[in-house]
Amino acid sequence: MEPILTYDYTPPPNHQDGSAEYFRYFRTTNDLNALPDHLNLEGLGELRLSGSDTIATTGQIGRIARAANVQNLEQLYIVDLRQEPHVVADSYTLTLRGPKDWANVGLAHDEALQREAAWIDDLRRSEHLKIDSAEDFKTGTRPMRSVTLHRPEIVSEQALVERTGARYARLTVTDHLRPDNDAVDRFVDIVRQLPPGAAMHVHCKGGRGRTTTFMAVYDMLRNARRVSADGIIDRQGGLGRYELKKIGGQNAVFRQDRLSFLYLFHQYAVQNPGGQPQTWSEWRASRRDLTHDGR
């Protein structure tokens, strides 16, 4: 099946209070009140870390900054995890959507970005855009709900973020899968270069699988020597209302693979706090007990 142009969610009405700041799945380590008492919270409140679903407005970026107590937006680093092509058009986030959200599956990082740039150029040449519901596409609901946008302003997420003065970084992580080694190396490099006092926000499309995974990865880079792998996985799952340890359903094999990666990454982070001195790939290469793909 060929990928189609979809909108991720219907934006809240503009007149609705807080509509420009609305997220479906937002959480921050500056607010841990909802977490159960049995979880180990050591070091969690110090992270200045948040996560969410997709970003479509500068108001959402303002909310992220306030949640992190960021006064200077140059101290806010937003990491976009989405491999699939996406763009903002009149407060809609549009995605080139294939089955399993795999429109770019198998593409290297630079290839995915080149494809997205060409796709955005094509959209900007269109007078009218008919966009279908991503949810209906995913569930098989037919006919799909659709919206037509007339001469919309089309803005890449990078441009939207940088309008506010915040910093933008991009990884291209395939939905449902463990991150590949290149993406992990890129993330470790981002963490290495964070200035003192910086806040980080990570997001994917739905704000669940990829976002929770990378919040756990960041937590491990900061706290693996103090908190066990299970402790970090459990608390990030609780914060994001997404159980990384729940293995089942049609994506069970992918979920197990992702969980195995997190346990292995915790070992790396214990030996390389903050991603130093070795990169993820260097550490893997030094481990003779691992197979070529790090499993």
For residue 19, the model assigns a pLDDT of 76
For residue 253, the model assigns a pLDDT of 97
Alpha carbons 159 and 51: distance in angstroms, whole number: 19
Nearest to 43 by CA among 231, 246, 282: 231
Average pLDDT of the residues in 198-219: 98
Domains identified in the chain and CATH numbers: 4-286 (3.90.190.10)
- The answer to whether residue 204 is catalytic is yes
Average pLDDT of the residues in 161-174: 98
Nearest to 91 by CA among 55, 135, 145: 55
The number of CA neighbours under 13 Å toward the Cβ of 173 is: 29
pLDDT higher than threshold 90 for residue 293: no
For residue 17, the model assigns a pLDDT of 61
Average pLDDT of the residues in 279-294: 81
Q: Encoding tokens for residue 38?
A: 């049995």
Average pLDDT of the residues in 221-246: 98
CA 156, 162, 166, 169 dihedral sign is: positive
Indicate the average pLDDT of the chain: 95
Residue 148: pLDDT band with limits 50, 70, 90: very high
Residue 12: pLDDT band with limits 50, 70, 90: confident
Alpha carbons 71 and 277: distance in angstroms, whole number: 31
Q: Which of 76, 89, 190, 204 is catalytic?
A: 204
pLDDT digits (tens, 9 = 90+) for 50-100: 999 999 999 999 999 999 999 999 999 999 999 999 999 998 999 999 998
Residue 294: pLDDT band with limits 50, 70, 90: very low
Q: Is 30 exposed, middle or buried (0-12, 13-18, 19+ CB in 10 A)?
A: middle
* High-pLDDT (> 70) share of the chain, %: 97
Q: Which residues are within 8 A (CB) of 290 and not within 5 positions of it... i.e. 6 or more apart? A: 264, 284
Q: Which residues are within 8 A (CB) of 24 and not within 5 positions of it... i.e. 6 or more apart? A: 9, 52, 53, 206, 207
Residue tagged 């937590």 (tokens) = 219
3-state helix, strand, coil in the chain (%, to 5): 40, 20, 40
Q: Strands, DSSP E only, in 102-238?
A: 128-133, 146-150, 154-155, 167-173, 199-203
Average pLDDT of the residues in 165-169: 99
